[in-house]
Amino acid sequence: MSNRANAIRHRLGLTWVQSLGGPLIVVPVSALHQWGGCTEDGLIIGGTDRPDDYDRACAVEEYAEVIGLGDTRTASALVLGDEPATTCYLPEQRIFVR
């Protein structure tokens, strides 16, 4: 991304985020307490074959997909899949720009 493009984005007050290689995950504030993230050991939760929240997010192969959170999966998160692209949310239009 060029310095000029960054300057324009900054001037417009847009916040752009990026990952270090994993998917971007949009979790509502009301559901943050249900986000389990990943276990220290990776794929296996408590010696079972159940994937954790992060594993389910990484399994998304489409541009976007909704996953359930935590053990009960009563809350949902939006996973922005495909490649880890720099992304911005435009609240007025209620859209993500990548």
Tens-of-pLDDT digits for all 98 residues of the chain? 567 766 766 667 788 888 888 889 999 999 998 888 776 665 555 556 777 888 889 889 999 999 999 877 789 999 998 777 889 998 889 999 88
What total number of domains does the chain contain?
1
55 found inside a domain: yes
What pLDDT sits at residue 42?
57
3 found inside a domain: no
What pLDDT sits at residue 47?
59
Domain with 67 in it: 18-97
32 found inside a domain: yes
Give CA–CA dist 37/61, Å, rounded. 19
6 found inside a domain: no
Q: Tokens 């720099």 correspond to what residue?
A: 86
What pLDDT sits at residue 6?
67
